[in-house]
């Protein structure tokens, strides 16, 4: 069993890297990758401990990069990356991240003010690398009087708030994130130069009219090495479709739970959907290349 998509407190997960190792050992994972959003901070923390005393398996250095394609914010997973090479590019600068996301929060607070929606005046992101949408959604829900201003599904779900508000041009909460993100080609080239391989993350997590058409538009770039086939947003029909797509288009397959701890309590490490383990066999074809 493997899990190549795990988040820690170095982005928006609820558990420290050491705790991730302990849990991975408990469920006997063979390979893992910590793939925090636009952050490799977890690996700095791991450098200060004796990893093997917590986890006997292998760790593939990774990161989940925010990118843009056809005007849509999406994500690319980089595996087997040289951490120092990535760090030297400055693309994962904490300063840039906080400046960008706090700018988004400022704009969403203006929306709230204009619409008479209650919010915390001094709301901002400090320390952990949480995204503006996460911080804003949690803050709005702190005030029960705000519930009347949102449809039930948006009020109850961060993912729906992100899809239907933050990433929806017709919503007052829309954020044009595309100008702040690199392209798929740019990130794929950076990952390749750092000795790694690049994979499209969770295709079915994106708001597009036609996922197959969107996928074809990405793979036609000939930039990525593979696709994330196993994922907590993919049922087995979607997983099998993506596995077949990889086979037909000579792409590698990867898989991960997208574990966030308490933030996504229904997502289990080592599983895509409930009861479905992520098999080591999908990693074998490209393991020797990273």
Which 3-state string (H, E, C) describes 13-78?
CCCCHHHHHHHHHHCCCCEEEECCECCCHHHHHHCCCCHHHCCCCEECCEEEEEEEECCEEEEEEE
Mean pLDDT of 6-20: 93
DSSP state of 259: B
Question: What span, in angstroms and rounded, lies between the C-alpha atoms of 133 and 111?
Answer: 13
Residue range 46-99, pLDDT digits in tens: 998 999 999 999 999 999 999 999 988 899 999 999 999 999 999 888 888 889
Residue range 78-89, pLDDT digits in tens: 999 999 999 999
Could you tell me how many residues make up the chain? 290
Residue range 260-286, pLDDT digits in tens: 998 889 999 999 999 999 999 999 999
Round the average pLDDT of the chain to a whole number and report it.
94
236: which residues sit within 8 A by CB, 6+ positions away?
A: 273, 276
Question: What span, in angstroms and rounded, lies between the C-alpha atoms of 59 and 79?
Answer: 10
11 pLDDT above the threshold of 80: yes
Q: Is 120 exposed, middle or buried (0-12, 13-18, 19+ CB in 10 A)?
A: middle
Q: Which backbone phi and psi does 49 adopt, to 5 degrees?
A: -130, 165
Domain boundaries, the chain: 94-178
Q: Is 270 helix (H, G, I), strand (E, B) or coil?
A: coil
pLDDT of residue 3: 98
180 pLDDT above the threshold of 80: yes
Residue range 208-267, pLDDT digits in tens: 889 999 999 999 999 999 999 999 999 999 999 999 999 999 999 999 999 999 888 999
Closest Cα to residue 12, out of 266, 202, 263? 263
């Amino acid at each position: 069993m493997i899990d190549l998509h795990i988040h820690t407190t170095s982005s928006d997960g609820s558990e420290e890297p050491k705790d991730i190792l302990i849990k991975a050992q408990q469920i006997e994972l063979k390979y893992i990758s910590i793939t925090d959003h636009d952050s490799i901070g977890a690996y700095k923390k791991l450098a200060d401990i004796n990893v093997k005393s917590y986890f006997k398996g292998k760790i593939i250095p990774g990161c989940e990069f925010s990118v843009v394609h056809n005007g849509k914010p999406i994500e690319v997973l980089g595996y087997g990356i040289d951490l120092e090479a990535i760090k030297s590019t400055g693309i994962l600068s904490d300063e840039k991240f906080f400046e960008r996301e706090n700018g988004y929060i400022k704009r969403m607070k203006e929306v709230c003010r204009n619409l008479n929606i209650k919010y915390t005046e001094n709301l901002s992101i400090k320390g952990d690398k949480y995204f503006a949408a996460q911080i804003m959604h949690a803050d709005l829900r702190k005030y029960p009087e705000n519930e009347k201003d949102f449809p039930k599904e948006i009020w109850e779900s961060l993912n729906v708030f992100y899809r239907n508000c933050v990433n929806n041009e017709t919503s007052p909460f829309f954020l044009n994130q595309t100008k702040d993100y690199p392209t798929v080609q740019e990130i794929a080239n950076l990952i390749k130069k750092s000795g790694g391989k690049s994979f499209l993350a969770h295709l079915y997590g994106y708001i597009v009219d036609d996922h197959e058409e969107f996928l074809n538009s990405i793979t036609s770039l000939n930039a990525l090495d593979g696709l994330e086939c196993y994922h907590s947003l993919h049922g087995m029909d979607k997983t099998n479709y993506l596995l077949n797509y990889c086979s037909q288009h000579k792409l590698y397959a990867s898989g991960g739970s997208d574990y966030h701890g308490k933030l996504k309590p229904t997502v289990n490490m080592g599983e895509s959907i409930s009861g479905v383990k992520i098999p080591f066999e999908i990693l074998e074809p490209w393991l020797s290349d990273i």
